[in-house]
Chains A and B, each alone.
Chain A
Amino acid sequence: MEITKIMFGVLSFIAILSAVLVIFSKNPVYSVLYLIVTFFAIAGHYILLNAQFLAVVHIIVYAGAIMVLFLFVIMMLNLNKDTEPHNPAWVQIIAVIAGGIMMVTLVGALKVADTSMAKTHDTQIGLVGNLGKVLFTDFLIPFELSSILFLAAMVGAVMIGKKAIH
C-alpha cells in the first residue's frame, strides 16, 4: 500500500466523518467547528494532488473567513442547542433516503466519465507561479470582473443589513 493511498484513505475518512457530524450535531456551534475540520481535510486532499495554491487559498478563504463569518452570526443570534428547531421524524427519514439516492446516482453518473490519463503529464500545474501565469493571461477578464463582483457583494450586504432609517 502506498503512502498516498493511505493518506487518501485517512483524509477521506476524516472528511466524511466530520461532514456527517456537521449534519447531525444539535449545537450549531459544533456544526461550524466540524465543518472547519472538513475543510482542512479537503485542503489536505488538495495538497495530495499538488494543487498548492488552491490548498492555501482554500484554508484562508473558507476556514479563515467564511466560517468565521458563520460563527459571528451564530454568536450574534445567540443560537444554541435549545433554540434549534427539529424536523419531524418522517421528514428526516425521507431526507436520508433522498440524500442516499443522490449519492448513488451521482456515483453512477460520474462513473461513465473518462478516467484515462492525459498524454502530456505535467505535475507542476498546481504551483503558484504556473497557476498565476494562466490566471493572468487566459483568465484576466474574469479575474478583474470578480473584483467588481466583490464590490457588489459588499455594497449589497451593507444595504441589506442596514437598519431602516425613520
Chain B
Amino acid sequence: MAAALINVPKKAKNGDVIEIKTLMSHIMETGYRHTASGEVVPRDIITSFTCRFDGEEIFRADLFPATAANPFISFFTVASKSGKFDFEWIGDNGFSETASASITVE
C-alpha cells in the first residue's frame, strides 16, 4: 500500500518562494542485493517523479537505485496564483501513484 506525504503551505503571499516537500513510501529495492542462497533480489524502484502546477510541469526528477527507501524530495517554487499541485511517481513493475495539494495565494 503506497502512501504519499506532501507538505505544501496552504496559504502564501504572491511572489513568495515556497518549499514543497514530498515523501512516497516505497522499498526502493536496488537490484544489487542477494538472498542468503545467492539469488539476486530483482530491482524494484521509483524511476521518475514529476510535479505539475495547474497541469504545467514545474519540477521533475530521475531516481536511481541510489535513492534511499521511501524517497524524500524537496524543491522550491514561486507562489504566483492559487491552484493545485499534482505529484506523480512512476516506477518498476507498473508502479504509479499520484497525490495533489492546493494552495491559496493572496
Partners in one complex: no
Q: B residues within 8 Å of A by Cβ?
A: none
